[in-house]
Amino acid sequence: MATSNADSFSDNTNGIRNLKGTRFLMSFDKLSHIAEIQNIDTVTKKITIKLLDTGELYKDLSYTPNIATTLTDINPKLQITISESSNTLIFNHINEGNPIWYTYYGNEIMLGPDCSFGIYEVENPNLEPELIGKKVSMYLTPKYDSTNNQIVWSNIGSTALGNQITLLKTNDDSQYDYVGLTPLGTEVRMYQQNDGDLKVAFSAEPINGEVYIRSANCITTPVGLQAPLKFCTEEDKGAVINIPSSLIGEDNYGTKLSVTDICINNNELKEYYCTKVDAGLWYGEATYYCGENSCQDGACVGTQVCAQDVKICSDGSSVTRNPNLNCEFNVCPIQMCIGKDATILQGSTVGGVTVVDVDEAETKCIIEYAGKTYIIDKGQTAMMDDGKIIGVTYVAAMHETGAGQDMCTIKFCAGETTPTPQKCYGCFSNENCIPYGTRMKGSYCDLSRSLVQQKMPGSFCENSYECDSNLCASQKCVSSSLWNSIINFFAKLFGTQ
């Protein structure tokens, strides 16, 4: 039996092109796939959708405006209706046998102004429902508040999820239907109650083969947020770019989440990592350069080559780029700055710095400064957006022992500046930059910015420093003995010997 479910979201201010970047979870077969609208072209009438966890890209799928269009390339098939007059994009899954639903990112789901839930009769439950007579609708503005687990209605206040919400009267004066809502993940599911029987209907399953409930143009949602996260685990325990791995998560409503590292192209890898639970999007992402044709199956293969740049640390030492860390600079030696200390309790503010939280291991202090949150490791410093540098010298998770509040000792650094990378126009050796052509222990600094072994006599050359004899003549390295013989010949010829 074919089943379907239709939901929509829109941007009524800037048009449907602004739906680009919207992400949503497509849930089916007990798995959730993260999908993203990558482009909508209203001129050529094409839409591009990508499944971020699998890397599958469905590019330039044609649609017909204001008519339900089935995108047959996507499995399960995705049916969309794009209304260009109202800037509304309506999604409708079609799948054999299994109910399909959407789970939207967002700390709340807005069911927008004049949202109507219609109850329809259908002649054949195996076909798309058609309006043939009875219809009841409620024109309210409900809002799902996932933080407090409740539906809030504009005209009747609030009610607990699952409770009876309103009484709907059909065309038959003797028949009354009670309609309520209940959550599944971050989804709001609608049900109908008639004569004491509870019947789930928002999943698009026909009720007794006769009645069908759908929502129409109701759902809008903020992009980039999600329901509170229960946990997130990383298979590779961090950013390990040479091993393909996945993130596995679950939110507080039991929705399963997953995303897998993917190659953006032959050269670049997108690596996913867990972010702080309950704080925004459940995963973060970073792009790594693997080298030419070195990204395969979600991992970097081969050896990565980094630029030979040098970063000067605050203590005067220098560090180079690390190929195992996406060519980021190695960490400078820990050296706390010079400045005044202040011990700040959690929730208190000193000098514009508010201590928000500490980790249980007592290694990190989470602060807020000028409206932005920073996580600073104990013994390290961080630069604020206004240039001020803050250090953390001590972290205590006192609430874990019941001894008191969490606290951090903050150092307000004076006169610190951020070290800037210095370009090396030559070769890098023992943390020193040497110019092109410099000879060192049988090697020389080549124009390729690497130390190369000097060449034997008879080898092709362009510069004398390329030869172990330090002499290049007629584009060949000349042996030192031959050169000495030539010198001696001319010395005897001119009587200088």
pLDDT 10s digits, 345-371: 888 888 889 988 888 777 888 898 988
Q: Comparing 33-37, 51-55, 110-114, 125-129, which segment has the lowest mean pLDDT?
A: 110-114
Q: For residue 39, what pLDDT band results from cuts at 50, 70 and 90? A: confident
In 3D space, the residue among 15, 130, 176, 177 whose CA is nearest the CA of residue 82 turns out to be 15
In sequence order, what are the residues at sequence separation of 6 or more whose Cβ sits closer than 8 angstroms to the Cβ of residue 294?
A: 266, 267, 300, 301, 302, 304
pLDDT band at 90 (very low <50, low <70, confident <90, very high): low
- Residue 400: what are its φ and ψ, rounded to 5°? -70, -30
Tell me the pLDDT band of 256, cut-offs 50, 70 and 90.
low
Q: The tokens of 334 are what?
A: 């820990």
Parallel, antiparallel, or unpaired for β 299-300 and 432-434?
Answer: unpaired
Mean pLDDT (the chain) is 60
Q: Find the largest Cα–Cα distance for the chain.
A: 133
pLDDT of the residue at 129: 36
Q: Which of 336, 326, 376, 385 is nearest to 356 (CA)?
A: 376
Do residues 218 and 233 lie in contact, with contact meaning Cβ atoms separated by under 8 Å?
Answer: no
Other CB atoms within 10 A of residue 80 CB: 23
pLDDT of residue 112: 31
| C-alpha count within 13 angstroms, C-beta hemisphere, residue 11 | 13
Question: Residue 463: what pLDDT?
Answer: 80
pLDDT higher than threshold 50 for residue 163: no
| Direct distance between the N- and C-terminal alpha carbons of the chain, in angstroms, rounded to an integer | 108
Considering Cα of 433, then 439, then 443, then 449, what sign does the dihedral take?
A: positive
Sign, CA torsion 188/193/196/199: negative
Q: Is the pLDDT of residue 452 over 60?
A: yes
Quick one: which of 13, 218, 232, 248 has its CA closest to 104?
Answer: 218
Q: Is 302 left (phi over 0), alpha (psi -120 to 50) or beta?
A: left
C-beta of residue 459 within 8 angstroms of C-beta of residue 472: no
Residue with tokens 């702080």: 276
pLDDT for 321: 72
Summarised one tens digit per residue, pLDDT across range 212-237 is 333 332 332 222 234 455 677 777 65
Place of tokens 């019947």: 199
Coil, strand or helix at 170: coil
Return the sign of the alpha-carbon dihedral for residues 144, 148, 150, 156.
Answer: negative
Indicate if the pLDDT at residue 435 is higher than 50. yes
**Residues 305/291, Cβ–Cβ less than 8 Å:** yes
CB atoms within 10 A of CB 334: 12
Does residue 105 contact residue 113 with C-beta atoms inside 8 Å? no
Q: Is the alpha carbon torsion for 376, 378, 380, 383 positive or negative?
A: positive
Which strand ranges, in their side-by-side order, compose the sheet holding 328-329?
Answer: 328-329, 318-322, 310-312, 421-422
Element (H, E) at 485: helix 480-493
Element spanning 396, H or E: strand 389-396
pTM > 0.75: yes or no: no
Q: ω into residue 76 within 30 of 0, thus cis?
A: yes
Reported as a pLDDT band with limits 50, 70 and 90, residue 393 is confident
Per-residue tokens: 10: 């829109």
- pLDDT of amino acid 96: 41
Least Cα distance to 80 among 22, 94, 89 occurs for 89
Spell out the alpha helix ranges (H) of 325-448. none
Domain 339-413: CATH superfamily, name plus number: DU1608 C-terminal domain (2.60.98.40)
Confidence of residue 296 (pLDDT cuts 50, 70, 90): confident
Hunting for tokens 């690497």 — which residue is that? 450
CB 258 within 8 A of CB 146: no
Read off the tokens for 309.
């740049």
The percentage of the chain sitting over the pLDDT mark of 90, rounded to a whole number, equals 0
Residue 396 pLDDT: 82
What local confidence, expressed as pLDDT, does residue 50 receive?
82
Backbone torsions φ then ψ of 464, nearest 5 degrees = -65, -30
Check whether 468 has a pLDDT greater than 70. yes
What span, in angstroms and rounded, lies between the C-alpha atoms of 174 and 395? 68
Task: Answer whether 33's CB lies under 8 Å from 54's CB.
Answer: yes
pLDDT of residue 340: 78
Q: Which residue, 340, 356, 317, 331, is CA-closest to 389?
A: 340
Residue spans of the domains in the chain: they are 1-104, 229-300, 339-413, 433-493
Confidence check: pLDDT of 29 > 50: no
Query: In which element (H, E) is residue 9 found?
Result: strand 2-10
**Residue, of 210 and 144, whose pLDDT is higher:** 144
- Region 138-157: mean pLDDT is 39
Q: At which residue do the structure tokens 């000879």 appear?
A: 439
Between 211 and 299, name the one with better pLDDT: 299
Q: 211: which residues sit within 8 A by CB, 6+ positions away?
A: 119, 120, 121, 122, 192, 201
Predicted local confidence at residue 143, as pLDDT: 43
Please determine, for residue 329, whether its predicted confidence score (pLDDT) is greater than 80.
no
pLDDT confidence tier of residue 496, bands split at 50, 70 and 90: low
Distance CA 393, CA 336 (A): 8
Query: Which pLDDT value is given to residue 479?
Result: 77
